[in-house]
Amino acid sequence: MRKLVAGPLTLEYSEGSLWNISNGSEEAIRRIYLVFQDINWTSRPFVIKDEIWDVADRSFSAKIKAQGSHDAKDLSVELEITGSESGEITYGFSASTAVSFMRNRLGLCLLHPIAGLAGRECELTKADGAVEISRFPDAISPNQPFLNLSGISHKLQSGQVVSVNFKGEIFESEDHRNWSDASYKTYCTPISLPFPAQVTPGEVLSQKITISISGEHTTAISKNESAVITVGAEEIKLPEIGLGLSEDPAHLIVSEYAGFEDLAIKHLRLALNGNSQIRSAVEKALLVTQKLKIDLDLAITADSPQQLQAILQPIAELKDQVRSFYIFSVSDKTAPLGFIQAAEELLGDKSKIIGGTDLYFTELNRNQGSVDFVDQVNFSINPQVHSFDDRTLIQNTATQKVISTNAHRIAKGKKVSIGPITLRPRYNPNATQPDKDVSNTPLPSSVDARQRTWLAEGWTAMSIRSIAESESISTVTYFETLGWRGIREISTGSEDALNFASKAGEEFPVWRLFKHLKGFTHARPTASSLPELVDCLIITSAEKTEAILVNFSTIEQEVKFSGIDLKPQTLTPESVTYLEITGVANV
C-alpha cells in the first residue's frame, strides 16, 4: 500500500484503487476503483502497465496506464488521480477499445464503509440537480436504496461534511452487505438499463469521481498506536460447526478421515444433485459420519419437485440415519413451496426439511416469504462475490454478524443455518454463458490458493467470532473436508501440484483452528481498535479460556487488552497465535 495525504485526508493506493480515505481516525470513503464485469457478471482484473507519481507532503498526483483482461483484453485505460492540500481528491478514467466486446458493467465504483454510517442521514444529489435527504440503510436493504445519483454527502463525527460528485454516468447504490461485503456500493450503469451492452472501437468512455471535505478541519493524521482488543464479560454460545462433504468417491473413503475425530465438528453436509450416484454416496457418507460419531446432513438440488422425489426415493429408507435434508432448486433462488411439499411427502417428517437458499443472503432478503413454509432456513456466504484482495476478505468477516442478525429477523424466530461458508464462490449463479465463465487464476474459480495458508485460518476464526456474536445462528458449515477446497489434502495429493502445491495428507493451517476449538462451547465478544491489522476470537469452556489472535499485517504488531486481565502480546507478521489463558478475570 502506498500511503498518501491530501490536506486533512489520509488514504492509501494499491493496484489502481484508492482505499480508506479518512479524516483523522474516521474512515469517510472505503474504496474507489474501476470495474469491468463481463456477460456473466464476473469481475475481471485490470493489468497495470505504467504509473507516474508526483507525491508531496500534503498532495499528490498520478497518471496510470492499464489494460483490460479476458473479453476486455483490447481495452486501453488511462487513470488520473489527484489529491490537493484543500482535501479534494479526484479519480477519473478514460478508455477505448480496439476490438468490440460485451460488458454488463464497466465504470467507476465507490464504497462507503458500514461502520458508523448504518442509519445515518445523507444528502443525495439527483441527476437533474434536485437534492433529497435520505439515510444509509440500517437493516440490510434488499433493493437499491439510492437511484439516479450525481452526488452523495454525509456528516462525519467531527461535524465536517464529505461530499462525493459523480460525472460521466448516472450512478446508483446497493447495500453490499447482501453479499457479505462491509460497504454500501455506488456504481454505474443503472441496473434497470439493458445489459449486456456492446463497447465498440471509436467509443471513448470517461468518468470521474470527486471527493471534497468542508467544515473546520481536525488533526489530519492519526498517530500510530498499538491495537487494543476490548473483551466483553458475557459468554455467547458458539453455533454448531460442521464441514462440507464432496460426493467425489475419493472423498468418501473412511480411511481418509483418521484424525477428524479430534476436530470440533458435529456434522458433515453432503451435496447431491440429479447427476449424483445417490445411494452409493449417502451410504459411504454415513460410514464416515458413523465412524466420527457425528451427524450427516444432505443438501439436494433438483430441477423440479418430480426430480427431487426421484433423488430422494433411493435413500428414503435411510432417512432416519440422516439428520436434515436441505432442499434447493436449480432455477429458483429460494426453495419453492412445491419442492418442500414434495420432500415432506416422501420423508414424512417436516422437521427434517430445511429450505431457504443455497445462494447468498440477498436471495433470502429479496424473497422473505420463503421462510413461511419451513421450520429452518439456510443461506451461504463467501467474501469474494465482488473483490478478491486480502483486505476485502478481512473486512467482510465483520459483516457476517450483521447478515446473521438480519437473517434471524427475516426467519421470524425460526432456526437459521449458514452453509457452505467458503473463501471463493462455489459457482456463479448469474452466469448466462457458463462455458465462457473461466477463472481469473490458473486454479478453478471455486478454488483459492489461500485455502492452504494462515489467512484462511485467521479469516475463519473471525468468521466464527462474528457469527457467534449475532446470537442468531444454530448451525454453520465451512469449506469441505478434503482437497483444495477443504482443510486437509487428500492422501493422493493435489489435483494441480504446480498451482496448489500441497503435499499428500497435508493439514492446512485452518485444521489447527478446528482442532483448537474442540471442547469449547462459548465465546466472549471482542472488538479491535484496528481490525484490519489485528483481531481476536476468545473461546471458553467450563475448564479453560483461550485467545486466538490474528495478525493480518505484514509487520510485527503489539496488541493490548481491555476488559480482561492479559498482558500485551507481540504478534509475528501474518500469523495466528493461540494463547491459553489461566486465572482469567474481567477488569
In this predicted structure, what is the pLDDT of residue 88? Answer: 98
423 phi and psi angles, rounded to 5 deg:
-75, -40
Compute the CA torsion angle 311, 315, 316, 321 (nearest 10 deg): -130
Cα 178 to Cα 137: distance, rounded to the nearest angstrom: 12
Q: Are 423 and 463 within 8 A, CB to CB?
A: no
Cα 486 to Cα 109: distance, rounded to the nearest angstrom: 33
CATH class of 2-214: mainly beta
Q: How would you classify the pairing of strands 171-175 and 183-187?
A: antiparallel
The closest of 120, 110, 112 to 155, measured between CA atoms, is 120
Cα 68 to Cα 46: distance, rounded to the nearest angstrom: 5
Per-domain residue ranges of the chain = 2-214, 235-430+439-520, 527-581
CATH number 1.10.287 given to 527-581: no
Backbone angle region of 215, left / alpha / beta, with phi > 0 → left and psi within -120 to 50 → alpha = left
In Å, what is the CA distance from 402 to each residue of 177, 180, 376, 406, 548? 8, 9, 19, 6, 22
The label of the residue with cell 462507503 reads: 112
Q: What is the CA radius of gyration of the chain?
A: 25
How many helices, marked H, and strands, marked E, lie in the chain? Answer: 7, 35
Q: Are 528 and 229 within 8 A, CB to CB?
A: yes
- Mark the ranges of the chain whose per-residue pLDDT is less than 70: 217-224, 583-587
In this predicted structure, what is the pLDDT of residue 358? Answer: 96
Mapping DSSP to helix (H, G, I), strand (E, B) and coil, where does residue 289 land?
A: helix
Instruction: Please give the sequence-ordered ranges of beta strands (E in DSSP) within 224-294, or none if there are none.
Output: 227-231, 236-237, 240-245, 267-273
In this predicted structure, what is the pLDDT of residue 218? Answer: 54
In this predicted structure, what is the pLDDT of residue 1? Answer: 86
Grid cell of 500 as nine digits: 496448489
CATH class of 235-430+439-520: alpha beta
User: Mind listing the pLDDT tens digit for each residue in 13-64?
Assistant: 999 999 999 999 899 999 999 999 999 999 999 999 999 999 999 999 999 9
In this predicted structure, what is the pLDDT of residue 276? Answer: 79
pTM of the model: 0.94
Maximum C-alpha span of the chain? 74
How many whole angstroms from its chain centre is CA 357?
17
Indicate the burial class of 80 (C-beta count within 10 angstroms; 0-12, 13-18, 19 or more): middle
In this predicted structure, what is the pLDDT of residue 217? Answer: 61
Instruction: Note whether 2-214 and 235-430+439-520 share their fold.
Output: no
